[in-house]
Structure 1
Amino acid sequence: MKTGILLTALLVATAFLNPVFAGDTPKVYEILNLDFPGFEKVKQHVENKDYTKAQEALLDYYRQRTSIKHPDVNREDKQKMKGKRLDESTLEKANNGLKHHFFVHKGYGYFDFGDTINWQYWPVKDNEIRWQLNRMYWWIPMGEAYWSTGDEKYAKEWVWQMRDWIKDNPRGLSKENDRFAWRPLETARRVQDQTNLFNYFIDSPNFTADFLVEFLVNYYVHAECIRQNYSERGNHLLFEAQRLIYAGGFFPEFINAGTWRKEGIDILNTEIEKQVYADGMQYELSLNYHIAAINIFLKALYMAQLCNMEDEFPKSYSACIENMIIAIANASFPDYTYPMFSDAKRVSDGSMQKNYQSWLKVFPDNEVIRYFATKGKNGNAPGHLSKGLTNSGIYTFRNGWKKDATVLILKASPPAFWHSQPDNGTFELWVKGRNFMPDAGCYVYSGDDEIMKLRNWYRQTKVHQTLTLNNENINVDAHQIRWSVSPDLDELKYSNPSYDNLDHERNVFFVDQSFFVLVDKAIGKGTGQVDLHYQLIEGNANVNAKAKSIATTFDDGNNVIIRCFGPKTMELIEEEGKVSYSYRKEIERPAVAFRQPKPDGKTVKFITVICPFDGQKAPEIKAAFITSKDNKEQVELVVNGKKHLLDI
């Protein structure tokens, strides 16, 4: 027995667990249920204190084990992958991983961590680099490459890297290293991924009996670490619970496997009620995390099915997931993308279609999910157009489900937290296949002062489609006043307490299912500079300071004009505009503010008309506030010669 290597693994465990190991003899068998079916030989050798033979019997058991099914990777799939051509990205990650050029984050690509691997290397002071290094994104590609090629170099290197990580990253090495290597989210990611890796490599001659013991000790340490350090709330807690279910389901031989499964299921049953609004939206209000939550809940359900524990989830659990799927369908554009509110990033229609296809397997009778899974070839589109998710404050105005539709999706939400931005009132506008007014995005997550400066630029209220006072960030806690839908006019009215001394009230009208009118009011005692901000897609734009308008100038004739009407002293100001569709990538774009001084407590009011048009000549637009005969405030506007009256 390689006692030195084993002792290293055991020290990792004893560093922060109640002692399950004692003395110089490994007591790994104390964390395994030796009465588990198939462990008879292992138990016999342990009772005889012949630990070498016990290890060999343990390895033989796992290589012969066929009763445990994995949601994604099963050993019987190995033959199907033999000789299969891997995509270039997967093979690149695997082969670079052999050289210790690790893919740690798609925003940065590869970094060289040295011949001996410096697991604490931090080339750019972005926290995500350290965190995601400890997710080992290149390990599963190495497993796939091993199955595809049969080349033992992948298995040999993975075993070496696994042992090296265990040796160099004991919990308690330092406060900083614990923060990155042992954050519960990363620990849980490894708990999930190592079930895949176990299946990829268990049959390799490099996966020795000694290494199996190290692997199991390390795995047990990971699962118990999650239990001792659950995140307080949010998607992190969901990930941790789901992956603990994976641990208990894939390794039922551990003495605490039943506890892991039960705790994970109990957490998810509790959190699905806490974290999902009645309208189906996850409460962080960042739509990529909403989709992550759907997949977390479903992965847990699937693993529970494989463990014959599906009944531990009530029927309301799957009903809630189904409602979440319909919610994201309502909050998406015809190409399956969705607004980059908060920390969301642009997604591809292919990745979203795969999600719908996966979801359809769970909900085969849902014709709306079928519609999106088949890109409209089968199933049915939702039976409505515009839709308000009124609990979460995500409102969609639309005139169709096809790519030639006009769709505006707006956020006027209750408070959220970390991933949420101070952006109530912001929206994205899609017209005939083009997203004309994308949200700013997030660019980067967290790190040192320089990184946070980059992040905070994108979090500013003033880089969103909404109203500010003195360009300061707003509070988020919108309250719906009115939401109505009809063939000729859809309307939203809400109020947001943007500042302690100023409320922002906004009406949004979708007129004749063709153009939009926004009425914005700055109400309260607050004084200073009121700005109404708008940003367009990257590209050229025609800014007309005199007419108080900005219009796109696309050669294909699919264009939009934004024209604002306000006090006579209102100015149009060109602002810095940027959009980030993916991590650490940004593009300049046109941005303007309509600016009006507010010297006293009088309300400042704006009318904005956002009108799609064909060609290069924008429509004639006029708008003004009027008072009706019954003393109601209205907006009177004329667009292309047609007059409209809107009650505010």
Structure 2
Amino acid sequence: MSLTRRTVLRAALAGACAAPLPAGGPSPAAAAVAATTEVPDSAFFGVWNATTGTWRTAPVLDYAAFPALAPVADAARTGDYTAARAALLRYMRTRPQRTPPQWAYNGVYTPALVPLFLDHIWTLGKGEIHHSTLTVGTHWTAVDADVTDGVKSAVSTGGVGFMLMARHKEPSTAEFAGRHAAADAPELTLTYADGTVRKLAASQSCHIAAGPDAATPSGSAQTLQVHDEGAGPFTDATRKAYLWFDLTGVGAPETAALRLTGRTSAGQQQIMLYQVQVGFDETTRCWNNTVQNTFSWQGDPNGFDWRKPTGANVDNEFGYQLPRFYFAGPIADAYRTGKDERIAAGLISLMTDFITDANATTSSAGAASFPRNLDAAWRHQNWCYAYEILRTSPSLTADANISMLKAIHTGGRYLTNTTSTTPNWMVTIKSSLLYLGVCFPEFLAAPSWRDAAQAYLAQQLAGALYPDGGYTEASSSYAMGVAQTFVATASVLAANGHPVGTVAPLRSLAWYLADQTYPNGYDPAYGDSGYTDQRPALAALADLLDDDRLRHVATAGAAGTAPGHTSVTYPDTRVVVQRTGWRDTDWYLRLNADRGNHGHPDELAIQLYAHDRPLLPAMGAYSYAADPTADWLRTSTQAHNTVTIDGRAQSPTAAAAVSNLSLPWADLADGFTDATPGVRHRRSVLFLHGFGWLVTDTLTPDDPGQHTYQQNWHLLPDAGPVLDGGIARTRFTAGTQLTIIPADPAAVTATIEDGHYSPITYQVAPTRYVSYSLTAAGARTLNTLLLPTPPGTRTRAKLSVQTCDDGGRALRLTSSTSRLTGYHFQAPGDGAARRFGPYLFDGSLAYVDRHAGVQRILLTGGTLLRQDRRTLLAADEALPTTLAVRLDQVKRTVEIAGPAAEAGGRPLHLAAPWARTATVAGQDVPITRKGGLVTIPALR
């Protein structure tokens, strides 16, 4: 765009963006919008051959199918393209209403952001959340801001931060008293429901400066500077201020107020207040090491250049997401609500400015492809929404209208042919093409866009799933995003009178997502994902698929029918989920060895939830920035609940597998990975329902040298872990606690380390995690009990290692509160009988416990289990698989389950002479007695 036109346009909008936008007539800016596109009118409207009565150059508009376009066609036939433009605008203003897709936005939206968008102040993601605008004058004055919602949301993370940024580009510099000031330091006042008031001083404060001071911290400064002027997103004079308040041990208040004391160098100055959720050290923070998410082009006559701000320490996403027009939908909604033409003119300006700039700086695809096909797809989805509202605005001129429609048509052609190897990219691309076909049926190509995209989406989804129905990208958020796209396309098709059709693999993907959600319905947030509520999206999927069981999951049991399963295994995707049920208070564990785009080096990592909260969560991704925190979260194995070997990051493409056996009172998962070359890691997890998890890590190196193993357990920021004799315990202020018990504390070094937790993208909080490590040669085994303690319970347990007769080891589990004593034993499975504790067994795996008159037995392989000199269980032939037995002497019942109990299994002889009834795989069977044993027949 020419400098003159930019200047006129920015000046026209400046007044509207400096204050709330009143209702008014068309903006004078509208007349300044000129058509700028690489597509000539002749190629768009067509060139008529009067001699033959045919189109020499075919139009892109379907004049025949839409008789109301006749005035456009008539003007095009005479070559009067100015008249054709005017006629097309008249048609678009009055055409039947279309139902566009919902707009997409990647941040935390409030209506107060609309004036900022129009003033070219843009925030990437949720790392900086606009709160309010403060005004300071030339005298030191206290200013207050209600920050209740922000503080409440941050209490569980242990701290809350704020950023101060100039609202306008102007010479004035604002100063605020920092925490080192002699008086009027920043203060956070918390008021509780009982009237109690607590005042907090800032624990960190500083400002950052661009230019020559970009590497210089200012943490000791008594005053914090805020300044912004000049062209571009920032200049050497730009300053931003930051505050941090420590909320450790602080409960959620009824209200929270932030008081700052500040002044400006001249007149009055408006300062934007943002909440940030990234802690910092004032002694080291500077421009160069701060990941910033908000930049301003306010008042810049050149406006956006639609690129990553040069020299800004942000990730590449800024340059990708800005051209996606995430702000288009909110601005369009603001115009539809208030009918302020300056809002419409502002959005029209942004769209045509982008078209001009992108056409001038990119390849032959022009504005259709900038900067990548994924970004173009999101942009066209948002443009579909915005155009449906803008088409009736008096501010939309014929020139601006044709500029948009030419860009949209070029976008349709581009999205038809562009490709990607990443499944979620292709789903986004083709869904956007479908939206164009539905929302702009006047284009001749629209039906083919719609039909081809719909067919491609079904095919693409099938190709994006493993045979077991799991998604090929190792990220729950990306998998859900794909599923939501199918809900959205179906909704748009139906609303506009088109057949929805069926996508058979969508049901598999929906259940893959449902199976992995925590019992509270939240995303387990593995890979590049965030901890967000999945139930609304699952409800939409349940409605689309008419799946009553999925509806039960989506509504926490308030509707629908309970699923017929709990724990699941996805062997191809390499994911196991153990769960006790589908209520918020159920227990859950996820074990994975998955791989794919957006995945992390987290092979055999565990995620744990019990009763009311995640206890061992995934730590999140933070951002795609070249930042130490983001790198640690996304690219280190140390940031995950698995074993780090020799400090190296895993290679998730290595050989691996997982499996799980679900039984009435236990689950038994097993997996291996070669993701750290030279050492095989095998992890088994025995879940004793309602009690806890026994985790066994076996590490087998290929060489005789020493290796360092670090078993890490990551916790939420407010867990407050402590070590007591090598045993770690959480200290949440309320709710379920977790005790992490190593079987042999003397064999490992127990430490509590500093880590990071990113519940959603662009937010991160400091946290602590537990590490059990050792350095040794040869194969080593780490055994750990994960013991949740829900509110109102007092579960205590001990886990110890016992040496067996042949030099092997067994685990002894005792709990005084549960009156439980159990033994867990694993052997090579060579048929030899081995002793562990009071037991003798000739199979490969055994778990036996006894509590409250109930004995439970879990066996894999073998023919004989004895306790001391007494036979507990005998089989005529070796068990081919796993068997679970529950002997209840009080109720006089015998229950047998597991694969070895299925039809074609073996008869069993049990030491249960008191038994009255028996079931095998849920079916009643007769009992015969001989001596002190009873015989339970196999199913036929």
TM range (shorter): 0.7 to 0.9
- The answer to whether the Cα contact below 8 Å between 1:564 and 1:609 also exists between their aligned partners in 2 is yes
Provide the residue aligned with 1:491 in structure 2.
Answer: 668
Q: In structure 1, how many angstroms separate the alpha carbons of the residues matched to 2:338 and 2:443?
A: 33
| Alignment CA distance shift 1:355-1:585 (3 Å) | same
TM-score by length of 1: 0.86
- The answer to whether the Cα contact below 8 Å between 2:742 and 2:799 also exists between their aligned partners in 1 is no
Provide the residue aligned with 1:95 in structure 2.
Answer: 115
- CA displacement at 1:307 relative to structure 2: 6.6
Q: In structure 2, how many angstroms separate the alpha carbons of the residues matched to 1:171 and 1:382?
A: 56
- The answer to whether the Cα contact below 8 Å between 2:721 and 2:728 also exists between their aligned partners in 1 is yes
| Alignment CA distance shift 1:150-1:239 (3 Å) | same
Match of 2:711 among 532, 540, 556: 532
- CA displacement at 1:194 relative to structure 2: 1.0
Provide the residue aligned with 2:542 in structure 1.
Answer: 360
- Write the deviation string for residues 78-136 of structure 1: whole angstroms up to 9, x where unpaired: xxxxxxxxx99441222222222234422235431132313236143311112111122
Structure 1 residue 8 corresponds to structure 2 residue 194: no
Structure 1 residue 576 corresponds to structure 2 residue 754: yes
Larger radius of gyration: 2
Match of 1:106 among 118, 121, 126: 126
Provide the residue aligned with 1:192 in structure 2.
Answer: 381
- The answer to whether the Cα contact below 8 Å between 1:622 and 1:637 also exists between their aligned partners in 2 is yes
Provide the residue aligned with 2:94 in structure 1.
Answer: 64
Structure 1 residue 133 corresponds to structure 2 residue 322: yes
Structure 1 residue 430 corresponds to structure 2 residue 609: yes
Provide the residue aligned with 1:455 in structure 2.
Answer: 630
Secondary structure of the residue aligned to 1:533 is strand
- The answer to whether the Cα contact below 8 Å between 2:721 and 2:752 also exists between their aligned partners in 1 is no
Match of 2:781 among 584, 605, 608: 605
Provide the residue aligned with 1:80 in structure 2.
Answer: none
Structure 1 residue 149 corresponds to structure 2 residue 329: no
- The answer to whether the Cα contact below 8 Å between 1:557 and 1:616 also exists between their aligned partners in 2 is no
- CA displacement at 1:33 relative to structure 2: 2.8
Match of 1:321 among 506, 514, 528: 506
Q: In structure 2, how many angstroms separate the alpha carbons of the residues matched to 1:542 and 1:618?
A: 17
- CA displacement at 1:225 relative to structure 2: 2.9
Q: In structure 2, how many angstroms separate the alpha carbons of the residues matched to 1:331 and 1:577?
A: 25
Provide the residue aligned with 2:304 in structure 1.
Answer: 118
Structure 1 residue 244 corresponds to structure 2 residue 420: no
Q: Which amino acid letter does the alignment assign opposite residue 66 of structure 1? A: P
- The answer to whether the Cα contact below 8 Å between 1:478 and 1:494 also exists between their aligned partners in 2 is no
- The answer to whether the Cα contact below 8 Å between 2:669 and 2:685 also exists between their aligned partners in 1 is yes
Provide the residue aligned with 1:592 in structure 2.
Answer: 770
Secondary structure of the residue aligned to 1:134 is helix
- CA displacement at 1:3 relative to structure 2: 13
Q: In structure 1, how many angstroms separate the alpha carbons of the residues matched to 2:65 and 2:399?
A: 21
Structure 1 residue 465 corresponds to structure 2 residue 627: no
Match of 1:36 among 53, 56, 65: 65
Structure 1 residue 332 corresponds to structure 2 residue 508: no
- CA displacement at 1:566 relative to structure 2: 4.5
Provide the residue aligned with 2:590 in structure 1.
Answer: 409
Q: Which amino acid letter does the alignment assign opposite residue 520 of structure 1? A: D
- Which of the pair is proportionally richer in helix? 1
- CA displacement at 1:568 relative to structure 2: 5.0
- CA displacement at 1:373 relative to structure 2: 4.1
Name whichever of 320-329 and 434-443 sits farther off. 320-329
| Alignment CA distance shift 1:555-1:98 (3 Å) | closer
Unaligned 5+ runs, structure 1? 74-86
| Alignment CA distance shift 1:211-1:472 (3 Å) | same
Q: In structure 1, how many angstroms separate the alpha carbons of the residues matched to 2:369 and 2:601?
A: 28
Structure 1 residue 273 corresponds to structure 2 residue 293: no
Q: In structure 1, how many angstroms separate the alpha carbons of the residues matched to 2:651 and 2:71?
A: 64
- CA displacement at 1:280 relative to structure 2: 3.0
**Root mean square deviation, CA, Å:** 3.2
- The answer to whether the Cα contact below 8 Å between 1:559 and 1:616 also exists between their aligned partners in 2 is no
| Alignment CA distance shift 1:435-1:481 (3 Å) | closer
Structure 1 residue 49 corresponds to structure 2 residue 79: yes
Structural mapping, 1:201-216, within 5 Å: 201-216=390-405
Provide the residue aligned with 1:561 in structure 2.
Answer: 739
- CA displacement at 1:563 relative to structure 2: 1.1
- The answer to whether the Cα contact below 8 Å between 1:467 and 1:530 also exists between their aligned partners in 2 is yes
| Alignment CA distance shift 1:29-1:91 (3 Å) | farther
- CA displacement at 1:68 relative to structure 2: 4.4
- CA displacement at 1:343 relative to structure 2: 0.5
Q: Which amino acid letter does the alignment assign opposite residue 544 of structure 1? A: L
- CA displacement at 1:473 relative to structure 2: 0.7
Secondary structure of the residue aligned to 1:230 is coil
Provide the residue aligned with 2:875 in structure 1.
Answer: none
Q: In structure 2, how many angstroms separate the alpha carbons of the residues matched to 1:638 and 1:321?
A: 46
- CA displacement at 1:558 relative to structure 2: 2.5
Q: Which amino acid letter does the alignment assign opposite residue 94 of structure 2? A: Q
- CA displacement at 1:257 relative to structure 2: 2.2
Q: Which amino acid letter does the alignment assign opposite residue 113 of structure 1? A: W
Match of 1:161 among 328, 350, 366: 350
- CA displacement at 1:188 relative to structure 2: 0.7
Q: Which amino acid letter does the alignment assign opposite residue 540 of structure 2? A: S
- The answer to whether the Cα contact below 8 Å between 1:424 and 1:478 also exists between their aligned partners in 2 is no
Structure 1 residue 222 corresponds to structure 2 residue 407: no
Provide the residue aligned with 1:501 in structure 2.
Answer: 678
| Alignment CA distance shift 1:328-1:162 (3 Å) | same
Q: In structure 2, how many angstroms separate the alpha carbons of the residues matched to 1:528 and 1:211?
A: 67
Q: In structure 1, how many angstroms separate the alpha carbons of the residues matched to 2:655 and 2:538?
A: 31
Structure 1 residue 231 corresponds to structure 2 residue 260: no
- The answer to whether the Cα contact below 8 Å between 1:35 and 1:43 also exists between their aligned partners in 2 is no
- Write the deviation string for residues 289-338 of structure 1: whole angstroms up to 9, x where unpaired: 11101012233344445676647x5x4x2x32122222222111122112
- The answer to whether the Cα contact below 8 Å between 1:493 and 1:506 also exists between their aligned partners in 2 is yes
Structure 1 residue 376 corresponds to structure 2 residue 557: yes
Q: Which amino acid letter does the alignment assign opposite residue 458 of structure 1? A: L
Match of 2:527 among 339, 342, 348: 342
- Write the deviation string for residues 249-271 of structure 1: whole angstroms up to 9, x where unpaired: 21122233234224423432322
Identity of matched residues, %: 21
Q: In structure 1, how many angstroms separate the alpha carbons of the residues matched to 2:440 and 2:774?
A: 64
Secondary structure of the residue aligned to 1:33 is coil
- The answer to whether the Cα contact below 8 Å between 1:553 and 1:616 also exists between their aligned partners in 2 is no
- The answer to whether the Cα contact below 8 Å between 2:101 and 2:384 also exists between their aligned partners in 1 is no
| Alignment CA distance shift 1:90-1:538 (3 Å) | closer
Q: In structure 2, how many angstroms separate the alpha carbons of the residues matched to 1:283 and 1:551?
A: 36
- The answer to whether the Cα contact below 8 Å between 2:714 and 2:769 also exists between their aligned partners in 1 is yes
Paired residues in the alignment total: 607
| Alignment CA distance shift 1:28-1:584 (3 Å) | farther
Q: In structure 2, how many angstroms separate the alpha carbons of the residues matched to 1:394 and 1:619?
A: 30
Q: In structure 1, how many angstroms separate the alpha carbons of the residues matched to 2:563 and 2:709?
A: 40
Structure 1 residue 638 corresponds to structure 2 residue 822: no
| Alignment CA distance shift 1:180-1:204 (3 Å) | closer
